[in-house]
């Protein structure tokens, strides 16, 4: 009878143990399923957000070709985020002149006027050509949805015929004085540096990427008249806009 009772207890203990193991396995399976579904949902949400943002950025880039330069002249300045921005510089241009027209003329400055080649500096030789200002004003307005959501952006032009180790897509053209960005941090970091006795403009997007920012960027060829090459249209430049999420605190440039 004792042997029969011992066997019954062992069977009962085995049944309890099997039940506990079954419950543990079910719990672990449910946890794995929940983690997988949650992770998949987050990744899907991130992909969708990235797709929407890239689509919006592409629309912004296209708008540069169609927005009239004079139409951005009424955009109010904002010294905290956009120092030295005077959109009124574009008010006297006729409606047939777009923002991209001013930018192309700015970039098409004959290279002999700049020791380091063309620069985005609101000048065409000794004449004023506010391409950089027009682009800054345009992006200030069009990038508001992203800026209000905590994103910073940097717009730049790359000479794809002159790649550098820091910017394999092409050498970044100088943006003298102020940059086309709403980031005070990377506006300051993108100062020209001396390399081989020449000033080289670092790529703002590459700087942000190297600093650990998770970048989204769009780029397209940007045709500019090569005044040094007989006035032919040149496809040497790349127009690039990159954005990244940032908790950068906006402060006065004097701070």
Q: What is the per-residue pLDDT for 5?
A: 59
* CA triple 122-195-112, angle to 5 deg: 40
Number of domains in the chain: 1
Q: What is the mean pLDDT of the chain?
A: 78
Q: Is the pLDDT of residue 137 over 90?
A: yes
Residue 135 has pLDDT above 90, yes or no: yes
Q: pLDDT tens, 193-251?
A: 776 766 677 888 988 888 888 889 999 889 887 666 555 566 789 999 999 988 875 44
11 belongs to a structural domain: no
Q: Decide if 234 is inside a domain.
A: yes
In a domain, 228, yes or no: yes
Determine, yes or no, domain membership for 3: no
Residue 95 in any domain: the answer is yes
- Give the global pTM: 0.77
- Mean of the pLDDT values across residues 79-85? 84
Counting every residue written for the chain, the total comes to: 255
* 53 burial type by CB count under 10 A (0-12 exposed, 13-18 middle, 19+ buried): middle
**Does 12 fall in a domain?**
no
Instruction: Please report whether residue 32 resides in a domain.
Output: no
Write out the residue range of the structural domain in which residue 124 sits. Answer: 47-245
Which uninterrupted H or E stretch holds 134?
helix 131-142
Burial label for 143, CB within 10 Å (0-12, 13-18, 19+), is buried
Is 194 part of any domain?
Answer: yes
């Amino acid at each position: 009878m004792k042997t029969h009772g011992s066997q019954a207890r062992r069977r009962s203990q085995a049944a309890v143990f099997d039940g506990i193991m079954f419950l543990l396995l079910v719990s672990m399976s449910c946890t794995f399923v929940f983690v997988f579904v949650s992770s998949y949902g987050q990744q899907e949400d991130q992909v969708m957000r990235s797709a929407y943002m890239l689509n919006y950025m592409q629309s912004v880039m296209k708008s540069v070709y169609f927005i009239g330069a004079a139409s951005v002249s009424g955009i109010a300045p904002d010294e905290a985020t956009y120092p030295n921005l005077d959109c009124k510089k574009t008010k006297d241009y006729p409606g047939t002149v777009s923002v991209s027209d001013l930018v192309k003329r700015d970039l098409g400055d004959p290279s002999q006027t700049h020791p380091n080649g063309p620069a985005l500096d609101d000048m065409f030789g000794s004449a004023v050509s506010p391409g950089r200002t027009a682009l800054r004003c345009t992006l200030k307005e069009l990038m508001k949805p992203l800026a209000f959501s905590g994103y910073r952006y940097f717009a730049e032009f790359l000479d794809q015929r002159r790649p550098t180790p820091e910017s394999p897509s092409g050498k970044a053209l100088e943006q003298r004085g102020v940059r086309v960005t709403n980031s005070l941090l990377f506006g300051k970091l993108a100062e020209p540096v001396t390399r081989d006795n020449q000033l080289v403009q670092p790529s703002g997007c590459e700087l942000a990427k190297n600093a650990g920012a998770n970048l989204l960027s769009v780029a397209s060829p940007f045709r500019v008249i090569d005044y040094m090459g007989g006035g032919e249209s040149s496809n040497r430049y790349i127009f690039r806009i990159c954005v990244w999420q940032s908790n950068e605190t906006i402060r006065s440039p004097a701070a």
